[in-house]
Amino acid sequence: MKAALIPQFPVLLASIISTCSSVLHAETKVSQPAEKPNIVILLADDMGYADMSFLPQSPKDVNTPNIDRLAQTGTYYRHAYGTAAICSPARVGFITGRYQQRWGNYWYSQGGLPKEEPTIPKALKPLGYATFKIGKNHTNGGTGAHPLDHGFDDFLGFFHHTWDYIRLSEEDTTAYNARRKGSAATATIGALIRGRDTRVSYENRYTTDIFAEEAVKFIKRDHKSPFYLQLSFNAVHHPTYIGKPEYLEKFGAPQPKWDRDADSWEFPFWDPKKIGWQKWHQQWGHLKSVDPYGRKRYLACVHGLDLAVGRVLDALEEKGLRKNTLVVFISDNGGTINTYANNTPLAGYKYMNGEGGIRIPMILSMPGTLPEGSMSDDLASTLDIFPTIADLSGLKKSDLFDGESLIDGTPRSAELHWEKNGNDWAVRKGKWKLHRSSGWNHSTYTLDDKNMASPAKENVTYPKGLLLYNVVDDPGCTTNLADKHPEVVAMLLELHNKWRAQMAKPKRSGSLHIR
């Protein structure tokens, strides 16, 4: 008997939101704002689909009162998707409202974000918007990698797939390079970047807190015009095994104090004198070893993220801006098993075109303009955020958009597509999803009654081949219906082949192949 695809957690039976069972239908009326709205994007990294406490399927170990609060004032989309199962392609798909495959960006090290591509902040600049990007900027390298080249007035963050949460100084970089030259770059630690290239060091700080503080300062400025703020957290991406001591203590997860001058560094801090990076990263970043406290460390990271969301919402309310601000909460892709995320009830994880890799948390909130306390079963995508912003801000919608506005209340007319390569792609239309799968076999874990992790006896698996699922009735993708509905397979295959013919071939950008 094969192990269950998703580690089993107790399920919360009742939602915190009293209107959780309500569904937003096509006839929902949406008000038009009286003036151009402010826009705040809260972009989580690898967030588990179930790891928000307002959801019926939320495990009982999760508590996210501020994300719940956002959902109470907005609409949660149960069938929302990113444009890829990994971060960099998904992020450029979101900010352009276009499939990133149009310029050859399918997977790692492919395509980047060309300067000529339209982006949300670039489109808003002529309307007088002030724009600021905070946090992670991972666009696969290549041309046009810098946010200042894509419509942002200012930037504070880092340029990589991940970054350390607490080792954020030049002194930390020096300490690593003293142990082995170049090891700091491999470990992705050190100072953050402000503006074009100014390095800013922090001591005894935590990235999620820093990013929230910067967002609050920006919101509280005396703005003479509307603003677009994109807060791209590195939470909850690995290394979630390195956290803020205060948050870790709350969840009972130990961590030694970081001492860069110590003779020996112990877990969770990689010591390049003892072990090579690839072996270390496979062990702790890709679940070759199970950390007994892994789920607790992840929850501590979620807790910090939730507090940051609350600080942003508080700042908007204190400035009297909440009703005229569209707040969007999304994850770039699905949660990863490697950080102990929970994607219940979906099958699969990050890196896969299974539901758990591409279906994401998504909340849109603008009290008085958009429906509040609602859950929508409409098919949605991060591609839709740019067209939605265009509708609310008075932008002329582009024919180049692959997304559709979410505010006009009509069901999605187009199908959605994903493609990693010719052997792994997917298309969804209505209730049907066709997935050409390359398969999945990965180590996993079990949790005891104290939330401590231990290695599972069998790996988690996902089938290989041409798979057809009714993902409305079967979100766990347990029953392949391809043989029973060959006409649906043929229809979806034709749609995907037509879509693929419009896309560019995969393009190498010259950046490192990173995870």
Say what percent of the chain tops pLDDT 90: 85
pLDDT tens digit sequence for 470-479: 999 999 999 9
Split into its structural domains, the chain has a count of 1
Q: For residue 96, which of 136, 139, 127 has the smallest C-alpha distance?
A: 139
Domain that holds residue 273: 37-416
pLDDT at 16: 30
Spatial separation of the C-alpha atoms in residues 424 and 352, rounded to whole Å: 8
115 vs 258: which has the higher pLDDT: 258
Residues 6+ apart with CB under 8 A from 320: none
Confidence band of 144 (pLDDT split at 50, 70, 90): low
Residue at 441 is within a domain: no
Domain CATH code at residue 164: 3.40.720.10
* pLDDT score, position 30: 63
Residue 129 lies in a domain: yes
Split at pLDDT 50, 70, 90, the class of 15 is very low
pLDDT value, residue 449:
97
Nearest to 360 by CA among 337, 332, 338, 388: 332
pLDDT-derived band of residue 24, with 50, 70 and 90 as boundaries? very low
* Per-residue pLDDT tens digits for 477-493: 999 999 999 999 999 99
The CA distance from 58 to 60, in Å, is: 6
Length of the chain: 515
Return the pLDDT at 140. 63
More confident site: 335 or 140: 335
Concatenated DSSP letters of 322-366: GGGEEEEEEESS---GGGT---TTSS--TTSSSHHHHB--EEEE-
How far apart are alpha carbons 270 and 107 in whole angstroms? 27
pLDDT for residue 511: 42
Residues 144-157: what's their mean pLDDT?
93
In a domain, 424, yes or no: no
Q: What is the mean pLDDT of residues 84-103?
A: 97
pTM of the shown model: 0.93
Q: Examine residue 5 and state whether it is found in any structural domain, yes or no.
A: no
Q: Is residue 266 part of a domain?
A: yes
| Tens of pLDDT, residues 28-62 | 456 666 689 999 999 999 999 999 999 999 999 99
- Local structure of 66: helix, strand or coil: helix
pLDDT digits 0-9 by tens, 377-422: 999 999 999 999 999 999 987 788 999 999 877 888 899 999 999 9
Q: Which of the pair, 409 or 21, is modelled with greater confidence?
A: 409
Q: What is the pLDDT of residue 109?
A: 78
pLDDT value at residue 32: 65
Residue 245 maps to a domain:
yes
The mean pLDDT value of the chain amounts to 92
**What's the pLDDT at 12?**
32
| Residue-level pLDDT at 419 | 98
Least confident of 3-7, 257-261, 271-275, 423-427: 3-7
pLDDT of 8 higher than 70: no
Which has the higher per-residue pLDDT, 178 or 25?
178
Answer whether 468's CB lies under 8 Å from 434's CB.
Answer: yes
The Cα–Cα gap between 137 and 391 comes to 26
Among residues 64, 77, 40, 63, which one has the least CA distance to residue 313? 40
Q: Residues 500, 102: contact at Cβ < 8 Å?
A: no
User: 203-233, pLDDT tens digit by residue?
Assistant: 999 999 999 999 999 999 988 999 999 999 9
pLDDT digits over 316-358, tens only? Answer: 999 999 999 999 999 999 999 999 999 999 999 999 999 999 9
Percent of the chain with pLDDT strictly greater than 70: 91
For residue 268, tell me if it sits in a domain: yes
* Distance, C-alpha 493 to centroid of its chain: 28
Axis crossing angle, helix 294-318 with helix 65-72, rounded to the nearest 10? 50
Q: How confident is the model at residue 376 (pLDDT cuts 50, 70, 90)?
A: very high
Q: Is the pLDDT of residue 7 over 80?
A: no
Residue whose C-alpha is closest to residue 213's, from 231, 226, 195, 200: 231
User: What integer pLDDT is reported at residue 141 of this predicted model?
Assistant: 61
Dihedral (Cα; 198, 202, 206, 212), 10-degree rounding:
-50
Question: Is 509 among the domain residues?
Answer: no
Mean local confidence (pLDDT), 415-434: 97
d(CA 188, CA 211) in angstroms, rounded, equals 17
